[in-house]
């Protein structure tokens, strides 16, 4: 396993990490989660990503049980705050009230005294940035959060909150978590990555396989038990278009030439970008975890000629 710095911070995270979105507390049971996390840890993964709204808080409970028995100081655990998780008008957003109540709830569910990374899960237009920056600064000084960051914020919003921190002498954000994959590129490549590079922030990207579409599993339809077959993920079916499937089939041909799976090709394509601190992957089975981990060794196979062929298939990134 290779480890990369989180931006200009001193923290090192595994370049491939394991996330809880959709799987923990939803697709897999407690024992499967334990097996995945312990196997991932044994193979060098130290970063495990979560959020308070995943499976209505159940994902944090599942992860909290799964990390028991592992050395806490060897783990990098994250959570996020923004989406509605509590009743009433203050049960969402980035107000001091909601952030404080949310971090305590997350820590209880995870069974830990602190999270290493804490993300503002979206930008909150109803809360002043000074209030957001100050509550995060307080959490860092209280030792409940070691590093804080943003997720899916626009470049201008990130720059503004960094500016607020500088103005008032507050701990600045250390990382941004954007979506990035072969089918979702423009915002990252033209917005997030340049801004975070300039500000010294790390990037922990999610959805590298575009909810599994870039593995090729949907090339012949929607398999029973897959994410797209789940009723609460019906929105995924709109993303499985003939145009995208045609591109996946062409990418599969390149992957086979390189003796890779299509998913490994898609992961290696992301990992080649050194400004990315970690690529957050999901898995429901140990075989998927092993396949994802093997992608790290495939980066050297992506020669300029291969990258040009991939770009010819993908075309210029569409507006997102």
pLDDT band at residue 238 under the 50/70/90 scheme: confident
For residue 223, name the pLDDT band (cuts at 50, 70, 90). Answer: low
* 279 contacts 17 by C-beta, under 8 angstroms: yes
Alpha carbon distances (Å) from 56 to 150, 168, 201: 20, 35, 29
pTM (2 d.p.) = 0.94
Q: Is 218 marked active-site?
A: no
Residue 221 pLDDT level (bands cut at 50, 70, 90)? low
φ/ψ of 279, rounded to 5, equals -105, 120
Considering 3, 41, 54, 123, which one is annotated as catalytic?
54
Mean pLDDT of the chain: 94
Cα 124 from Cα 187, distance rounded (Å): 19
Task: With cut-offs at 50, 70 and 90, classify the pLDDT of residue 316.
Answer: low
Residue 7: name the closest of 185, 196, 152 by CA: 196
Q: Would you tell me which CATH number, out of the four given (2.40.30.10, 3.40.50.300, 3.20.20.100, 3.40.50.1980), belongs to the domain 3-314?
A: 3.20.20.100
pLDDT in tens, 157-177: 999 999 999 999 999 999 999
Per-residue pLDDT of 69-103, as tens digits, reads: 999 999 999 999 999 999 999 999 999 999 999 99
**Residue 228 scores a pLDDT above 60:** no
Q: Which of 122-131, 231-240, 260-269 has the least mean pLDDT? A: 231-240
The yes-or-no verdict on residue 113 having pLDDT over 60 is yes
What does the block give as tokens for 281?
């992957």
125 by Cβ neighbours in 10 Å (0-12 / 13-18 / 19+) ranks as exposed
Q: Which two tokens stand for residue 253?
A: 């041909």
- Tens of pLDDT along 11-54? 999 999 999 998 898 889 999 999 999 999 999 999 999 999 99
Q: Would you state the structure tokens that stand for residue 273, as one six-digit string?
A: 């970008």
What does each C-alpha distance from 65 to 52, 119, 281 come to in angstroms? 15, 22, 20
- Here the tokens at position 98 are 């909601």
Considering only residues 40 and 221, tell me which one the structure prediction assigns the higher pLDDT.
40
> What percent of the chain lies above the pLDDT cut of 70?
93
pLDDT in tens, 273-312: 999 999 999 999 999 999 999 999 999 999 999 999 999 9
Place of tokens 């196997």: 39
Distance CA 105, CA 25 (A): 17
Could you give the count of Cα atoms lying within 13 Å of 196 in the half-sphere of its Cβ?
A: 32
pLDDT at 140: 98
pLDDT band at 219 (very low <50, low <70, confident <90, very high): confident
pLDDT number for residue 236: 73
**pLDDT above 60: residue 194:** yes
Q: What is the dihedral of CA 13, 17, 18, 21, to 10 degrees?
A: 90
CA dihedral sign of residues 50, 211, 155, 188: positive
What does the pLDDT read at residue 240?
86
Task: Check pLDDT > 70 for residue 57.
Answer: yes
Q: What is the pLDDT of residue 218?
A: 83
Q: Are 82 and 92 in contact (CB under 8 A)?
A: yes
Confidence of residue 320 (pLDDT cuts 50, 70, 90): low
């Amino acid at each position: 396993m290779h480890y990369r710095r989180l931006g200009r911070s001193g923290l090192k995270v595994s370049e491939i990490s394991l996330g809880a979105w959709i799987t923990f507390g939803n697709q897999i049971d407690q024992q499967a989660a334990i097996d995945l996390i312990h196997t991932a840890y044994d193979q060098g993964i130290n970063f495990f990503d979560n959020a308070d709204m995943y499976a209505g808080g159940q994902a944090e409970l599942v992860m909290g049980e799964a990390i028991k028995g592992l050395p806490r100081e060897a783990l990098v655990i994250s959570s996020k705050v923004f989406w509605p998780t509590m009743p009433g008008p203050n049960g969402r957003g980035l107000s001091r009230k909601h952030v404080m109540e949310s971090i305590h709830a997350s820590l209880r569910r995870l069974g830990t005294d602190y999270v290493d990374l804490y993300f503002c899960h979206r930008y909150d237009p109803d809360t002043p940035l000074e209030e957001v920056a100050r509550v995060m600064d307080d959490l860092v000084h209280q030792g409940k959060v070691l590093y804080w960051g943003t997720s899916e914020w626009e470049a201008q919003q990130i720059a503004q909150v960094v500016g607020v921190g500088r103005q008032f002498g507050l701990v600045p954000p250390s990382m941004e978590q954007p979506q990035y994959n072969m089918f979702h590129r423009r915002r990252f490549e033209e917005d997030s990555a340049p801004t975070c590079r300039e500000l010294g922030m790390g990037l922990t990207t999610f959805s590298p396989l575009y909810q599994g579409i870039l593995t090729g599993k949907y090339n012949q339809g929607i398999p029973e038990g897959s994410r797209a077959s789940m009723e609460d993920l019906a929105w995924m079916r709109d993303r499985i278009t003939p145009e995208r499937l045609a591109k996946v089939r062409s990418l599969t041909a390149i992957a086979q030439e390189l003796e890779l799976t299509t998913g490994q090709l898609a992961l290696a394509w992301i990992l080649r970008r050194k400004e990315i601190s970690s690529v957050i992957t999901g898995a429901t089975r140990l075989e998927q975890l092993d396949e994802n981990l093997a992608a790290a060794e495939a980066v050297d196979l992506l020669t300029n000629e291969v990258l040009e062929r991939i770009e010819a298939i993908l075309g210029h990134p569409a507006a997102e």
